Amino acid sequence: MSAQPKFERAWISIEDYLAGELASDTKHQYMDGQVYAMSGASLNHERISLNMAIELTNHLRDKPCEAFGSNVKIKTDRHVFYPDAMVVCDQNYTSEYYTEAPVLVVEVLSKSTRRLDETIKRRVYQSIPSLLEYVLIEQDIVDVEVCRRSEGWVSNHYFLGDEVPFESVGLSLSVADIYARVDNDDMRTFIAEQTAEANSSQA
């Protein structure tokens, strides 16, 4: 989801932002004293976000870590964001509405969010001591980017036919499962090829 300035205003404290967010019908992100309203997500964006949240939730069932979707915030000293999905292993929550210690963060990219996700959010997330993996997933094409602390945050890209290892939670997912039901050119071509192969094997 994209972030747009709520309105021109003076600097606001993070405490005032958090209090205001509890009473707001619209979600906002907080960056260095400024509040930005978030727009709605596309169908493909929501499909990818839910695919990741569901797979992570099922994998972590009965385990200490737990997954969250896009309604729980990540807070740092100067920023507050709503990631599309994340995993938290530290159960010592200081709030019912945000965490300060994610181990895995997932953002789904769009034209309106790309710059924020690839620059400010990347820098802020990777400064969080607990974070082990930052995942950026394209919605208009098939491309899953995983950056791991253990590898110095270099980018690893995965495409259709690949398995994506999420080392922070001990889970491996196929790219096809991450993009299940997503409607873009790459997925349409992939499904057509899979169907053709299946029909050929049955002939």
pLDDT in tens, 19-70: 999 999 899 999 999 998 887 889 999 999 999 999 999 999 999 999 999 9
What's residue 117's pLDDT?
86
Whether residue 6 is contained in a domain is answered as no
Whether residue 67 is contained in a domain is answered as yes
State what percent of residues in the chain have pLDDT above 70: 95
Strands 98-99 and 73-75: parallel
For residue 15, give Cα distances in angstroms to 27, 39, 78, 131.
Answer: 16, 23, 11, 23
Q: How far apart are CA 110 and CA 22, in angstroms?
A: 27
Encoded amino acid at 190, one letter:
F
Whether residue 31 is contained in a domain is answered as no
Whether residue 29 is contained in a domain is answered as no
Whether residue 34 is contained in a domain is answered as no
For residue 51, the enclosing domain spans 41-202
Q: How far apart are CA 193 and CA 38, in angstroms?
A: 37
Q: How far apart are CA 78 and CA 125, in angstroms?
A: 12
Q: How far apart are CA 72 and CA 196, in angstroms?
A: 42
Q: CATH code at 73?
A: 3.90.1570.10
Whether residue 10 is contained in a domain is answered as no
What's residue 116's pLDDT?
83
Whether residue 17 is contained in a domain is answered as no
DSSP 3-state assignment of 31? Answer: strand
Distance of CA 96 to the CA centre of its chain: 19
CB contact at 8 A, 162 and 175: yes
Q: For each of the chain's 203 residues, which pLDDT tens digit applies?
A: 555 444 446 789 999 999 999 999 899 999 999 998 887 889 999 999 999 999 999 999 999 999 999 999 999 999 999 999 999 998 788 899 999 999 999 999 988 788 888 889 999 999 999 999 999 999 999 999 999 999 999 999 999 999 999 999 999 999 999 999 999 999 999 999 999 988 887 76
CB contact at 8 A, 85 and 67: yes
CB contact at 8 A, 162 and 176: no
**Listed residue (44, 24, 47) closest to 36, CA to CA:** 24
Q: How far apart are CA 38 and CA 27, in angstroms?
A: 6
Task: Indicate the number of domains in the chain.
Answer: 1
Whether residue 112 is contained in a domain is answered as yes
Strands 85-88 and 133-138: unpaired
